[in-house]
Structures are given as C-alpha cells and as structure tokens.
Amino acid sequence: MDTSYFKKFYDKSRSERIAALQQAGILSEEDAIRLEDGLALSPEIADNMIENQLSTYELPYGVALNFLIDGKDYAVPMAIEEPSVIAAASSAAKTIAQAGGFATVVQKRLMIGQVALKKVPDSALAEQTIRAHEADILKRANEAHPSIVKRGGGARKVSVRIIPADAIGGTPEFVVVHLHVETLEAMGANIINTMMEGVSPYLQDLTGGEALMGILSNYPTDCLATATCRIPANALAKGELSGEEVRDRLIEAYQFAYVDPYRAVTHNKGIMNGIDAVVLASGNDWRAISAGAHAYASRSGQYRSLSSWKKAENGDLIGSLTLPLPVGAVGGSISFHPAAKMTRAILGDPSAAELEAVIVSVGLAQNFSAIKALVTEGIQKGHMGLQSRSLAISAGATGEQIEWVSEQLKKEKNMNLATAKALLEQLKAE
C-alpha cells in the first residue's frame, strides 16, 4: 500500500479522499465509483432484512489510517456517529506504526453452544455419561449440520458444567452441556443453534433430564484475539510532560481502570468506540461482540479494564488488549450489505481471523489515544474540538453557517449547545 497519498487526508474533500484510496491501491476503480455514489441499502433489500421496515437509519462511514498490523498496512473502515473516534484511532495507529506496529494472536476459532438440562436425577452420573458418550454427541451434532463438516469444520469437543440449585432462590440445578464448534469463516450462530437443537433429545436420553433450551453462547472464551504494541517512552512526550511521565500516567490510568469498575466501564467504552465501529462497518453482530467483551471484562468476578499497559524493562510502554471476537467473513448480511461489502474490499477481503486481528488492534489504538488525552491535556480539547461541527448542526446551522459557528465555538470557553445557538443567532443578525 502506498500511503504517500494520505498526507492531510482529513483536510481533503470526500472525493479527494476516495481518489487517494484508489491511488494508494486500496480501492478498485469500480469500488471508488460505488463509494462516490454512496452505500445506501436499496429499499428492496432493507424491506427484506427486518420486519415492519419503514426506512433506513444512516451513520457516517469513514476510514482510520496508519494501521500497521502484523507487518501489513491497513486503512480501517468505521461506521460511527461520534466525532473524534476516527481521528483518535488514526493518531494512535500513527504513533504505534512508527514504533513497529501491532502484533496480534488469534486463537483457533471455536464457538460455544449450550444445552441446559434440568430435572437431571443424578448430575454427577450424567456428567460421567456425557463424557463417556462424547464421540456420539459430536457425531450427532455434525450430522445436524453436515455442510460445515464438508468445509473442514464441525463440532470438536464436549464439556459439562453443573450449576447447583438455589444459586438464586428457587433456581433448579442445571447440567449445562457445551459443544465447542469450529465454524471456520462464519460467526456460526445458525450452525450452532441447529446443532444444539439436534443433540438436545439425545442429551435428554443420556441424562434422564429435560432440556430447557439449546442455543449459541455469546461468550466464546475459545475465540480470543489479542493485540499488543510497544512504544518507546520518548515517543510519548506531550506538552510539558516528558515521555516517561506520560508513560507512567498511562500505566496509572490502566491501574485505575483495573481496580475501579466505575472507571473501567468508561475505559472499556473507549475501547468499544473503535471495536463496535469496525464490527458494524463489517456487517457483523455488534450486540454479540459487546456482550462478550463486557462478560470477558468481568471474568475475575469484578468488572475491569479490558486492556493493560505496563513498563518494559528498557522503559518502553507495552500495551495489550484481549477479548472474544466471534466475527465472520461470511454470513448474515455481510455478502449483500453495500457498506459491509465495501469494508471487505477496503480491508483486502480478510479472513475472519484477520478481521479479528484488525478489530482488536483498533480497540487498543482507541484506548491508547483516549487515555493519553485524559492523562495529558484532558479529553475536551481534542474531542470537543472535533465535536464543534455536530454542535453547530444541532443548533440549526446549515451550509456555510456550520463552518463559521464551529470555528467560533472552538474559541469559546463554554463549548456547548447554548453557545452554538447564541453564535448562530449572532450570525443571522449580522
């Protein structure tokens, strides 16, 4: 990828940005035309995607630059309504690329399905019986969805968890059977749900219990992705603060988010700014990713920071982020939603594992920028500086008024809607 075309990308017009992506070899001519025309869903597709459809709900679609992940350059598409997220991701990615980029590790992608059994007469015996019949259970699961087996995937492992009765007043004892399934390039909701319903009757026969439900778990602890980065302290200096001071403050920001759930939620929201935006742009199920991420943040019994920041022996800053990322390269609306298709084109048609690597890196970048701003100049300067246009629009500015109100707002002490409205009135009165 020739990134020389990206200089001051954000100062270019929309058409110039599309041309720059084409010149850099990221977009084909055909994709550049599609992007120029807009990525709207056709009324026919929209009507067939959901029930009681009335219209579509649009979000801005942009691209974060400077990502160097496992030695490969990426421009990363994001769909998001919040200003400064793309700037922050690009800014962090630039610093991290200069330090060697992100390194990622993506686990073998095993998704989990559950059958919950109740009224099991002897749960210890049931567990033994299930374990003894693992091969039969896997066979039946695979027979329920033979096409994934043909593709080289399928059910791989069975595990059992016993959740005692009265966990909260009056709850039955649950014998929970997990199937660990290799869903290859799919997130695999349909594969797993079919398998779980397929094995439920057999599990009832084996245990003498009653199946309450069989369903995918959105907590796929065998589908983790990790990104790490390592930044020399001298690349972190900001204003009056030395690189070492910024590094130490970044580490304390992480420590604060590790020990305090009130802070951890906001810290992780900053990470999800990037993750959700790429998941959404890629046509994946962002509710599933969010639910899994927050469960993973609570795995110790307390809700904590998803990322960690530490000092290396030589004084470098080392950042790391791990979370479950059950995304697909196929399935759902990925193959027909125009924006999801564009995202796949811009990312170079990534496999599901490569997409995980990109998404987890964006999450780490987003966290780096947010906490760096927080522990140095504060969030308002960069974030609100970029939010001034949204405030101007909220105040009713249109056309050239938007630029004028936005620029005046940046000079004001109170950059808020009331000030934006007052400025707009002033402009109209002139």
Ligand X SMILES: NC(=O)C1=CN([C@@H]2O[C@H](COP(=O)(O)OP(=O)(O)OC[C@H]3O[C@@H](n4cnc5c(N)ncnc54)[C@H](OP(=O)(O)O)[C@@H]3O)[C@@H](O)[C@H]2O)C=CC1
Q: Kindly list the catalytic residues.
A: 82, 269, 285, 383
411-420 contacts: CB < 8 A, separation 24 or more?
415/380, 415/384, 415/387, 415/388, 415/391, 416/391, 417/391, 420/388, 420/391, 420/392, 420/394, 420/395
Contact 238, 165 (CB under 8 A): no
Residue 195 is a binding residue for ligand HMG (CB under 6 A): no
Q: Measured at the alpha carbon of residue 325, what is the angle toward residues 346 and 286, in degrees to the nearest 5?
A: 75
Residue 108 is a binding residue for ligand X (CB under 6 A): no
Residue 270 is a binding residue for ligand HMG (CB under 6 A): yes
Contact 88, 370 (CB under 8 A): yes
Residue 211 is a binding residue for ligand HMG (CB under 6 A): no
| Amino acid (one-letter) located at 69 | I
Segment interacting with ligand X (CB under 6 A) among 112-120, 155-163, 328-336, 367-375: 328-336
Site residue total, ligand HMG (CB under 6 A): 26
- From the CB of 61, what's the least distance to ligand HMG, in Å? 14
**320 vs 227: CA distance, rounded Å:** 6
Task: Tell me which H or E stretch contains 345.
Answer: helix 338-346
Radius of gyration of the chain measured on its C-alpha atoms? 25
- Give the x-and-dash track for 355-374 against ligand HMG (CB under 6 A): --------------xxx-xx
Query: Can you tell me which of 88, 158, 216, 280 binds ligand HMG, judged by CB under 6 A?
Result: 88
Query: Can you tell me which of 53, 98, 171, 266 binds ligand HMG, judged by CB under 6 A?
Result: 266
**315 vs 309: CA distance, rounded Å:** 12
Q: Among 179, 190, 112, which residue's Cα sits nearest to residue 141?
A: 179
What does 270 bind: ligand HMG, ligand X, none (CB cut-off 5 to 8 Å by kind)?
Answer: ligand HMG
What does 275 bind: ligand HMG, ligand X, none (CB cut-off 5 to 8 Å by kind)?
Answer: none
Residue 270 is a binding residue for ligand X (CB under 6 A): no
Query: Can you tell me which of 138, 382, 391, 397 binds ligand HMG, judged by CB under 6 A?
Result: 382
Query: Can you tell me which of 18, 74, 77, 90 binds ligand HMG, judged by CB under 6 A?
Result: 90
Task: Tell me which H or E stretch contains 75.
Answer: strand 72-79
Segment interacting with ligand X (CB under 6 A) among 235-243, 297-305, 327-335, 339-347: 327-335
Segment interacting with ligand HMG (CB under 6 A) among 30-38, 79-87, 195-203, 321-329: 79-87
| 233: DSSP letter | G
CB neighbours of 35 closer than 8 A, spacing ≥ 6? 18, 21, 27, 342
Q: Among 94, 116, 346, 411, which residue's Cα sits nearest to residue 229?
A: 94
What does 147 bind: ligand X, ligand HMG, none (CB cut-off 5 to 8 Å by kind)?
Answer: ligand X
**Residue ranges binding ligand X (CB under 6 A):** 147-148, 151, 183-191, 216, 218, 285, 288, 328, 330-332
**Residue ranges binding ligand HMG (CB under 6 A):** 10, 65-66, 82, 84-88, 90-91, 94, 266-267, 269-270, 273, 369-371, 373-374, 379, 382-383, 386
